[in-house]
Chain A
């Protein structure tokens, strides 16, 4: 069920767009919905990030994966547990660009009866890299359809991506890798029992959705071809706010952009927000400098002044002495004797 529902949902979306576009709703699927979706995406994304930014993070959260800055003869792990801004920048960079914390994944299993062992588990890291980078390349390549003249990076990407010169128009390596990556990410969820147990429809839905987007895209390029010139004209029109649909476009194209619109509109409300969230995660973006800097809890009542132990003892000394509790300072001696005592002590 957890797999079936999202699957049916994606198929349903495809059918809606396929028949909707043929029933004369071209401008709904080609113009109205894409504008709506990108608006939801941008506004929803910003609202979510602002919402996150409103939650206070009163304390630095040191993660235990590296030695914190400590005594001079204990070597600090400057990237896993940075105490400076530059260290944090390094950690964030590696996290965002290379998915470092996925690289650290371990998997526990039980062997020989009750013995537990931990092994490194790099699959998620590898599949995630495959998927995210090919997705990035594909999005950047798509800019050829949204801009005229094209930005400089498109021909470069196009050259390397189509390097194999298989078929016509040439096969893109990133298309292969994204489909493979998605398949592997999906098989991870169905073949590893623990991961399967944890997976929810919200995990499968984006996988199916993006798989459907990529495969309709590949179909339009390699099998059921489309009029790229008029599609580009529509896309450039969308980007410059006077979209025009010329002639009858292949309904697959409407399926493709309806799915992309769904992805965009779904994005801010789903786990896909990790795109923004990775920058907001306190275990990654805060320096572990609690021993050097005093961090004040933002929701403290400003009327409450700090109350040190010395003050506390001043307030309760008599009661404490009466109760035989140890005190730092002792009760003040009788007034008349005080000066004499003082000199004697010296």
Chain B
């Protein structure tokens, strides 16, 4: 092999970059989210699997229907009516942003900008 020093240095850099997640995770500090359900109700507004993957879509659909079409009909869960709203709907059942929404969002690194305008419910311990 010619230019051994240079080639091996280059390859070492390559391996270090490619294995980045392995050595970066080596401390093993993964925090799998555990969003707290702070309501006595049993079900969410949609099936759990749908909520876990697509709640952001639901929220934006609600927003469009409520605001753009003026359709403020309520959503029924187990016979009880809830407002189709971020503050007064989702957060009516999910009382804490930090213990619920943020649990997952911190984990996947997303920071919805909704709270720039919408009120965050008061955090009670």
- Chain B residue at smallest Cβ distance from A149: B29
The main secondary structure of chain B at its interface with chain A is: helix
Contact with A along B36-59 (1 / 0, CB 8 A): 000000000000010011101101
Query: Is A50 an interface residue when CB atoms closer than 8 A count as contact?
Result: yes
**Stretch in contact with the other chain, from A5-13, A25-33, A228-236:** A228-236
Closest Cβ of chain A to B90, distance in Å, is 14
Query: Is A69 an interface residue when CB atoms closer than 8 A count as contact?
Result: no
Query: Is A250 an interface residue when CB atoms closer than 8 A count as contact?
Result: yes
Complex Cα spacing A229 to B1, Å: 46
Closest Cβ of chain B to A139, distance in Å, is 10
Contact A49 B7 (CB under 8 A): yes
Query: Is A208 an interface residue when CB atoms closer than 8 A count as contact?
Result: no
- Report chain B residues within 8 Å CB of A150: 109
Q: State the interface size on chain B (CB cutoff 8 A).
A: 39
Closest Cβ of chain A to B102, distance in Å, is 13
- Report chain A residues within 8 Å CB of B52: 227, 229-230
Contact B108 A146 (CB under 8 A): no
- Provided the pairs A227-B49, A228-B53, A240-B22 are in contact, do residues A154 and B1 lie with their beta carbons within 8 angstroms? no
Contact B25 A279 (CB under 8 A): no
Query: Is B20 an interface residue when CB atoms closer than 8 A count as contact?
Result: yes
Of the listed residues B10, B20, B29, B109, the one surrounded by the most CB atoms of chain A closer than 10 A to its CB is B109
Closest Cβ of chain B to A124, distance in Å, is 25
Contact A42 B107 (CB under 8 A): no
Contact B2 A42 (CB under 8 A): no
- Chain A residue at smallest Cβ distance from B113: A165
Closest Cβ of chain B to A198, distance in Å, is 30
Contact B33 A229 (CB under 8 A): yes
Complex Cα spacing A268 to B113, Å: 42
Complex Cα spacing A260 to B11, Å: 22
Contact with B along A80-96 (1 / 0, CB 8 A): 00000000000000000
Contact B2 A154 (CB under 8 A): no
Contact A146 B1 (CB under 8 A): no
- Provided the pairs A46-B11, A53-B1, A169-B110 are in contact, do residues A239 and B22 lie with their beta carbons within 8 angstroms? yes
- Report chain B residues within 8 Å CB of A146: 21, 25
Contact B53 A54 (CB under 8 A): no
- Report chain A residues within 8 Å CB of B60: 167-168
CB neighbors of A among B73-125 (8 A): 104, 107-113
Contact B18 A42 (CB under 8 A): yes
Complex Cα spacing A232 to B108, Å: 7
Contact A147 B14 (CB under 8 A): no
- Chain A residue at smallest Cβ distance from B15: A42
Contact with B along A300-332 (1 / 0, CB 8 A): 000000000000000000000000000000000
Query: Is B68 an interface residue when CB atoms closer than 8 A count as contact?
Result: no
- Report chain A residues within 8 Å CB of B2: 53-57, 298
- Provided the pairs A143-B21, A227-B49, A233-B32 are in contact, do residues A155 and B1 lie with their beta carbons within 8 angstroms? no
Contact with B along A8-42 (1 / 0, CB 8 A): 00000000000000000000000000000010011
Of the listed residues A49, A229, A235, the one surrounded by the most CB atoms of chain B closer than 10 A to its CB is A229
Query: Is B69 an interface residue when CB atoms closer than 8 A count as contact?
Result: no
Q: Which of A46, A168, A239 contacts B59 (CB 8 A)?
A: A168
CB neighbors of B among A34-79 (8 A): 38, 41-42, 45-46, 49-50, 53-57
- Report chain A residues within 8 Å CB of B21: 143, 146-147, 235-236, 239
- Report chain B residues within 8 Å CB of A167: 60
Complex Cα spacing A38 to B14, Å: 13
What would 29 A/B residue contacts be, using CB atoms closer than 8 Å? A38-B18, A41-B18, A42-B19, A45-B14, A46-B11, A49-B11, A53-B2, A143-B21, A144-B108, A146-B21, A146-B25, A147-B20, A151-B24, A154-B109, A158-B109, A158-B110, A168-B56, A168-B60, A168-B112, A225-B53, A227-B52, A228-B108, A236-B21, A236-B25, A239-B21, A239-B22, A240-B28, A240-B30, A298-B2
Interface residues of B, Cβ cutoff 8 Å to A: 1-4, 7, 10-11, 14-15, 18-22, 24-26, 28-33, 49, 52-54, 56-57, 59-60, 104, 107-113
